[in-house]
Structure 1
Amino acid sequence: MTAEFQSHWSPTASLEALKSRAEQSAFVRGFFAGRGVLEVETPVLGRHGVSDLNLDGIAAEVHGAPGWSDTRAWLQTSPEYHMKRLLAAGSGPVFQIARAFRDGERGRRHNPEFSLLEWYRPGFDDDALMAEVADLVCGWLGVPWPQRLSYRQACRQFAGLDPFAIGGGELAARCEVWVGADMAESLGRDECLDLVMSHAVEPALRAEPPTFIDRYPASQAALARTSREDGVEVAHRFELYVRGIELCNGYWELTDPAEQRRRFETDNALRRQAGKREMAPDAYLLAALEEGLPDCAGVALGLDRLLMLKLGLDDIARVMAFPVERA
């Protein structure tokens, strides 16, 4: 046995953290039981992966699966597609404490395998769901009720720019301080705006009370519906930050199958440009949308990060029994 295994067999989380994780799970289940939201389980291993440019799934091989034309399957980056199929089948409000997998993600706030709380509320829009997210997070952490800023307000206040009005050249020039001139000039608009968020807005939020950021640019809608407000197209998407840590990503969900198909195609065009593998559109999800997804809002919340905030820890490994390097 090598020295590595002799010295790294033990968990990285303390017994206190492991007990708090169990208490957090019980709190979450009690929260939704009190609101009549059904707990469900969906596959960790699925036939389709996600097409989002910013997410990379982890592939697996499956042999002997009836009806499969090949052996490739995907560890799910989130249970979203399967949960939406349940909604289309008439499940009503549902939640899940899931294991999720994303390749290439390891750092103080990331591990390739992590715990995700995801839930969907038929009849809710993004405003109603933000209130429920606040109830859950504030109830567990004991923090003040979140303030709310639009994406535009946050960028104006903390980065000194209007993300909808600034020209591409000026935006790239603003990013040079973080990545250099050559890299900044090669980036697309949304990539530059991501740098503004990560290098200017998010650090400023560490000194702010809990904060919802909403009304993202329509180009960053992912699976959210969009509308026109104040002369610009915005996405009904929100994120919650506590002490500068992003906890969740929520949408007033897109229900139009034609628009969903178009977004899959756009995702794959972006993946081709980035030299990434194209991902087959999830035909099961599209069929469910054709059948009819109820008007709903949904959100995914990182339970490991929530526990880090509860315990005042700054490394995800300290709330996980075995992060990837000890798995």
Structure 2
Amino acid sequence: MYDASLWQPSADMATLQKRAQLFSTIRDFFSARNVMEVDTPCLSLASITDPHIEVLTSHTHSLGKALTYYLQTSPEYAMKRLLCAGSGSIYQLGKVFRAEEIGRRHSIEFTMLEWYRVGFDHWQLMDEVEQLLASVLQLDNLQCERLSYQEAFLRHLELDPFTSSLSQLQECAHKHTEYGRQEEDRDTLLELIFSTVVEPAIGQQSPCFIHDYPTTQAALAKIYQDEKGQSVAARFELYWQGMELANGYHELTDAQEQQQRFDEDKHARQDLGLVDRQFDERLISALHAGLPECAGVALGIDRLLMLLCEQKHIDAVISFAHQRA
């Protein structure tokens, strides 16, 4: 309910000053590395394929024609089009939007730092994420832990996410959450187990990178063979004190493979009975033109600021909370 009396910011001025300083530190970090800042549109006539992320829409008319615009959940597609056009390494610091439940760590509008490094793989990009955090924390050296997805499950659950049967995953999920016995999708079970058991246990003393995800969770990342010879996604996520901060890929450059993944997402959305939306096929066209070998990562600025300021709710680090609108 709209209340005109709630006009004051949800964050105090000291926190907003820290926010401004964080932005300045980030821009100095990338300027020193000759990474160009870009500014892509928040609105687009097309959107993402991911069946697990819902988007905010805006409806209007132009020349008598009804149009649906999508608020962007990430600048990824537009930034990759810039990369295909020859931009070189780039970053963006700005607002993104997701139609998800508002909560302690979630807002429908939030600030994302996303960057792409031409010539990097995901290992090199993990190094740079670590360097950025060290700069933000004003540390000469920061040692982040690195665990493979498989190692994390074995350490905290004694369960192998790659070889365990569906029934074993169902029982594990039920044991820890009381849900899962009826679930037939392996990735849904793995994500439930990870978020409930693994995520709260990792990155408590120092930030922790989880890497080498199952190929079914590759999203827009390359697939490669790990040291054990099993196929894994060249993807990582960063966790700190039980909170997911970043998600990065050694980016998929194959247009045909990307189209196949888009088609699989479309079918998944149909099977789930989700609302149809226009997918952004311009990314496929750009990939046909040629995406340079690169790695990219998205980092949640509001969540990072929550940790830096020791705040428990995202409202405390943004200027105006949407819950108070």
TM-score in same-fold range (> 0.5):
yes
Give yes or no for contact 2:183–2:189 (8 Å, CA) kept in 1. Answer: no
Give yes or no for contact 1:248–1:302 (8 Å, CA) kept in 2. Answer: yes
TM-score, reference length from structure 1: 0.94
Q: Which residue of 2 aligns with 1:278?
A: 276
Q: Distance in 1 between matches of 2:316 and 2:155?
A: 33
Deviation of 1:307 (Å): 0.7
Q: Matched residue pairs, number?
A: 322
Q: Distance in 2 between matches of 1:243 and 1:16?
A: 23
Give yes or no for contact 1:207–1:244 (8 Å, CA) kept in 2. Answer: yes
Give yes or no for contact 1:120–1:298 (8 Å, CA) kept in 2. Answer: yes
Q: Distance in 1 between matches of 2:174 and 2:117?
A: 42
Q: Which residue of 2 aligns with 1:41?
A: 39
Give the aligned residue type for 2:105: R
Mind listing any 5+ residue stretches in structure 2 that lack a counterpart? none
Q: Which residue of 1 aligns with 2:87?
A: 91
Q: Which residue of 2 aligns with 1:188?
A: 185
Aligned to 2:40, the other structure's residue is in SS state coil
Q: Distance in 2 between matches of 1:302 and 1:21?
A: 13
Aligned to 2:247, the other structure's residue is in SS state strand
Q: Distance in 2 between matches of 1:43 and 1:62?
A: 17
Q: Deviations over 1:45-69 (max 9, x none)?
A: 0111111121111111133289xx7
Aligned to 1:236, the other structure's residue is in SS state strand
**In the alignment, which of 54, 62, 65 is matched to residue 64 of structure 1?**
62
Q: CA distance change for structure 1 residues 57 and 214 in 2, over 3 Å: closer, same or farther? A: same
Deviation of 1:206 (Å): 5.0
Deviation of 1:139 (Å): 1.8
Q: Which moved more, 1:188-197 or 1:272-281?
A: 272-281
Q: CA distance change for structure 1 residues 158 and 77 in 2, over 3 Å: closer, same or farther? A: same
Give the aligned residue type for 1:58: L
Aligned to 2:210, the other structure's residue is in SS state strand
Q: CA distance change for structure 1 residues 65 and 17 in 2, over 3 Å: closer, same or farther? A: farther
Deviation of 1:254 (Å): 0.4
Aligned to 1:5, the other structure's residue is in SS state coil
Give the aligned residue type for 1:217: P
Deviation of 1:3 (Å): 9.5
Q: Distance in 1 between matches of 2:99 and 2:278?
A: 18
Aligned to 2:16, the other structure's residue is in SS state helix
Aligned to 1:247, the other structure's residue is in SS state strand
Runs of at least 4 residues off by over 6 Å: none
Query: Is 1:287 the equivalent of 2:279?
Result: no
Q: Distance in 1 between matches of 2:181 and 2:4?
A: 42
Deviation of 1:11 (Å): 1.2
Aligned to 1:280, the other structure's residue is in SS state coil
Q: Distance in 1 between matches of 2:232 and 2:286?
A: 26
Q: Distance in 1 between matches of 2:256 and 2:2?
A: 56
Q: Which moved more, 1:276-285 or 1:166-175?
A: 276-285
Give the aligned residue type for 2:214: P
Q: Distance in 1 between matches of 2:203 and 2:251?
A: 29
Q: Which residue of 1 aligns with 2:238?
A: 240
Q: Which residue of 1 aligns with 2:265?
A: 267
Give the aligned residue type for 2:317: V
Deviation of 1:279 (Å): 3.4
Q: Which has the higher helix share?
A: 1
Q: Distance in 2 between matches of 1:292 and 1:11?
A: 45
Aligned to 1:186, the other structure's residue is in SS state coil
Q: CA distance change for structure 1 residues 65 and 22 in 2, over 3 Å: closer, same or farther? A: farther
TM-score, reference length from structure 2: 0.95
Q: Distance in 2 between matches of 1:75 and 1:151?
A: 32
Q: Which residue of 1 aligns with 2:209?
A: 212
Q: Which residue of 1 aligns with 2:132?
A: 136
After TM superposition, the structure 1 = structure 2 runs for residues 97-176 of structure 1, keeping only pairs within 5 Å, are: 97-142=93-138, 144-176=142-174
Deviation of 1:4 (Å): 3.9
Q: Distance in 1 between matches of 2:135 and 2:289?
A: 37
Aligned to 2:61, the other structure's residue is in SS state coil
Mind listing any 5+ residue stretches in structure 1 that lack a counterpart? none
Q: Distance in 2 between matches of 1:168 and 1:309?
A: 36
Q: Deviations over 1:96-152 (max 9, x none)?
A: 002100002311111010000000011000011000000001221357320110000
Q: CA RMSD in A?
A: 1.8
Q: Distance in 2 between matches of 1:142 and 1:312?
A: 16
Q: CA distance change for structure 1 residues 3 and 99 in 2, over 3 Å: closer, same or farther? A: closer
Aligned to 1:200, the other structure's residue is in SS state helix
Q: Distance in 1 between matches of 2:75 and 2:168?
A: 39
Aligned to 2:261, the other structure's residue is in SS state helix
Give yes or no for contact 1:261–1:281 (8 Å, CA) kept in 2. Answer: no
Give the aligned residue type for 1:193: L
Q: Distance in 2 between matches of 1:187 and 1:178?
A: 17
Q: CA distance change for structure 1 residues 302 and 140 in 2, over 3 Å: closer, same or farther? A: same
Aligned to 1:130, the other structure's residue is in SS state helix
